[in-house]
Amino acid sequence: MIKLDSKIPKGPIADKWSNYKTSLRLVSPANKKKLDIIVVGSGLSGASSASALGELGYNVKVFCFQDSPRRAHSVAAQGGINAAKNYKNDGDSVHRLFYDMIKGGDFRAREANVYRASEVSNYVIDHFTALGVPFARDYGGMLDTRSFGGVQVSRTFYAKGQTGQQCLLGTYSSLSRQIAKGTVKMYERRDMLDVVIIDGKARGIITRNLLTGETERHSAHAVVLATGGYGTVFYLSTLALGSNASAAWAAHKKGALFANPSFIQIHPTSIPVLNDYQSKLTLMSESLRNDGRVWVPKEKDEKRHPNQIPEAERDYYLERRYPAFGNLVPRDVASRAAKERCDAGYGVGDTGLSVYLDFKDAINKQGKKAIEDKYGNLFEMYLKITGINPYEEPMRIYPAGHYTMGGLWVDYNLMTTIPGLYSVGESNFSDHGANRLGASSLMQCSGDGYFILPYTISDYLADEIRTPLIRTDHDEFDKAEKAAKERIDRLMAVNGKQTVTSFHKRLGKILWDHCGMVRTEEGLKKGIEMIDQLEDEFWKEVKVPATAGEYNQELEKAIRVADFFEVGRLMCQDALDRNESCGAHFREEFQTEQGEAKRNDAEYAHVSAYEYTGNRQREILHKEPLVFENVELKERSYK
């Protein structure tokens, strides 16, 4: 029987981490050399973990599915990275960043973890600067910041609209340095198929070499999953097409609890769906809402060109509904408000499923050059995709699946419920509650990897210094590899008529309609039924061409989609179990008179962590109560 122990240290919140750090056990340099650590994923959290652990002297093995660690999807983060530096003298502090995140997450995150993320944020900026990340600067040579949604200070550091790229490449450079030194061994073009557990501890992984199709065994004293989010479950999302849930899901099936699976952020400003063949949705950074104003026409079925609609006939609905935060309300609020206007018939574009994001006023006031400096690459990207020039007419935007707050349950040490198995970055559930604030994802990923995991993992490894090299000829490796191969054989043997992608599209549509921005009990139940049917059809009808023993991109997709059915079902289950609205989880039955999310703190101030019991079996729900000692629970208002 699994018992959840969050291992939150005692003491005042501001002292927890610093006191706890000094109590953690260390591993001597001589012993570090004898310990192996596997890191799966090479994005911001994986590469930062691996390089920090490599610097310390551990033997690290890093796995990624791309041809290079530099391609991980952290690279696409645009707007910025938060830190509580208070460089703008606008009243920012570690505590205020912590409070903004707790409130932004609609009081569904763990106080101690969020406070720690906020605390290490300043070191992250220092470290990136030292690595040569070219953040934006002002004319005095100091670092510049800007504002993001859900906050009233300016704490977001940025590098034009390519902050994720610059941070990832900084982390990639530190990873490359360790690879050159030999402390890190890099395994590109690998998919993790399973985690191997020996005597209750994570001791290795099974991978598939994507070029040869061979399954491989890799052992270690501890395993770190840095495998990102599962937003691609919607098929159309802002994620890279290769992003997937399979590694985290394999860990879940082996006993790691999965927390808050239904908490998925729908990002308000994505380029809308343009055609039936669309394979992904492109994000337009939230930073655009610093200067862009969101509106729809006041009249339904407006046919005029946006530039011809006079000021008095425009409804700046975010400014109208939320005067205190205006266009900078948090993402969940902005997304639902856009959906509300479109559902009511005020949406624009051919489909009626988009709203305007207008820079006319900002360009008039600040000049085109200033706007180009801030958002040049984003405007260019928009022009390339849509053929419309946003300097001359408003962008059209609509919400799209983006970031998963849910993920593997971890304790304060970032360890899952499987001893020796850690989860960092987006793949864990820990810091963003029911809604993530903009620019806090780069912050959390790099904080986890550079400044938290290296401390907590040493406490675990201190007990492993007498454990010799883990042998890969152990029975558990045999079993795991055999099971992984059998599953692949089953997929290949179906030999049906429909492509993997056609199933993925249909699954995505079911989840978008039934477990998207607005959910109902009836819809969720229907969604689960539909997923069951589709999954049955998949295992009878899917076509995976060629063979398993070669480079086979369709097989890679098939393995991922097979897992997405199970992930989708658990999302719906969690959304059903949580009879309240909070953050990104909006149940139509639970809303205030003004249509805002209505929480139920008496019954649902907890983390929902699910235990796998077999596919199609009802997962066991474990609850970790959330205790708020430093903030007062209240209705989240941005009015």
Partner 1 sequence: MEFKLKIWRQKNASVKGKFENYTLKDVSAEMSFLQMLDYLNQQIIESGGEPVHFEHDCREGICGSCGLYINGRPHGPITHTTTCELHMREFKDHTTIVIEPWRSKAFPVIKDLVVDRSAFEKVIQAGGFVNANTGSTQEANNIPINKKISDRAFDAAVCIGCGACVAACKNSSAMLFVSAKVSQYALMPQGKVEAKERVENMVAKMDEVGFGFCSNTYACEYDCPKGISVEFIAQMNREFFSAKVCKSKK
Interface with partner 1 in residues 386-415 (CB under 8 A) = 387
Does residue 167 interact with partner 1 by CB under 8 A?
A: no
Indicate which single residue of 467, 501, 520, 630 sits in contact with partner 1 (rule: CB under 8 A).
Answer: 501
Contact between 506 and 534 (Cβ < 8 Å)? yes
Distance CA 493, CA 539 (A): 9
Does residue 71 interact with partner 1 by CB under 8 A?
A: yes
Does residue 89 interact with partner 1 by CB under 8 A?
A: no
**In the complex, least distance from residue 119 CB atom to partner 1, rounded to whole angstroms:** 14
Per residue, the 3-state secondary structure of 73-136, as one string, reads HHHHCCCCEECCCCCCCCCCCHHHHHHHHHHHCCCCCCHHHHHHHHHHHHHHHHHHHHCCCCCC
Contact between 192 and 206 (Cβ < 8 Å)? yes
**Binding pattern to partner 1, positions 196-225, x when CB under 8 A?**
---------------x--------------
Of 385 and 620, nearer to partner 1 (C-beta) is 385
DSSP state string for 584-639: TB-BTTSB-TTS-B---HHHH-EEEEEE--STTSPPEEEEEE---SSS--------
Does residue 129 interact with partner 1 by CB under 8 A?
A: yes
**Sequence-ordered strand ranges (E) for 234-352:** 258-259, 264-270, 293-297, 314-315
Indicate which single residue of 16, 32, 127, 339 sits in contact with partner 1 (rule: CB under 8 A).
Answer: 127
Contact between 442 and 285 (Cβ < 8 Å)? no
Indicate which single residue of 25, 497, 616, 634 sits in contact with partner 1 (rule: CB under 8 A).
Answer: 497
Q: Site residues for partner 1, window 308-367 (CB under 8 A)?
A: none
Does residue 75 interact with partner 1 by CB under 8 A?
A: yes
Angle (CA) 478-481-486 rounded to 5° is 120
Of 282 and 467, nearer to partner 1 (C-beta) is 282
**In the complex, least distance from residue 183 CB atom to partner 1, rounded to whole angstroms:** 12
Instruction: Choose one: 145-153, 329-337, 544-552, 579-587; the region binding partner 1 (CB under 8 A).
Output: 544-552
Of 12 and 141, nearer to partner 1 (C-beta) is 141
Tokens of 107: 């009081």
Angle (CA) 417-419-425 rounded to 5° is 65
Q: Site residues for partner 1, window 608-637 (CB under 8 A)?
A: none
Instruction: Choose one: 299-307, 462-470, 497-505, 527-535; the region binding partner 1 (CB under 8 A).
Output: 497-505
Of 9 and 213, nearer to partner 1 (C-beta) is 213
Is 331 assigned a catalytic role? yes
Which residue of the set 321, 331, 436, 519 is catalytic? 331
Tokens of 600: 């139920």
Angle (CA) 198-202-206 rounded to 5° is 90
Q: Site residues for partner 1, window 253-292 (CB under 8 A)?
A: 274-275, 277-280, 282-283
Distance CA 18, CA 119 (A): 10
99: amino acid identity, one letter: Y
Instruction: Choose one: 108-116, 390-398, 456-464, 550-558; the region binding partner 1 (CB under 8 A).
Output: 550-558
Does residue 537 interact with partner 1 by CB under 8 A?
A: no
Q: Site residues for partner 1, window 367-386 (CB under 8 A)?
A: 380-381, 384-385
Indicate which single residue of 4, 24, 57, 123 sits in contact with partner 1 (rule: CB under 8 A).
Answer: 123
Of 195 and 284, nearer to partner 1 (C-beta) is 284
Work out whether strand 184-187 and strand 59-63 pair parallel, antiparallel, or are unpaired: parallel
Of 186 and 226, nearer to partner 1 (C-beta) is 186
Distance CA 66, CA 159 (A): 24
Indicate which single residue of 14, 31, 95, 188 sits in contact with partner 1 (rule: CB under 8 A).
Answer: 188
Contact between 434 and 587 (Cβ < 8 Å)? no
Distance CA 160, CA 372 (A): 10
**In the complex, least distance from residue 49 CB atom to partner 1, rounded to whole angstroms:** 10
Does residue 240 interact with partner 1 by CB under 8 A?
A: yes
Q: Site residues for partner 1, window 454-493 (CB under 8 A)?
A: 454
**Sequence-ordered strand ranges (E) for 188-232:** 190-198, 201-209, 215-219, 222-225
Tokens of 507: 């699954």
Distance CA 348, CA 456 (A): 51
Indicate which single residue of 39, 125, 251, 348 sits in contact with partner 1 (rule: CB under 8 A).
Answer: 125
Of 112 and 284, nearer to partner 1 (C-beta) is 284
Catalytic machinery residues: 331
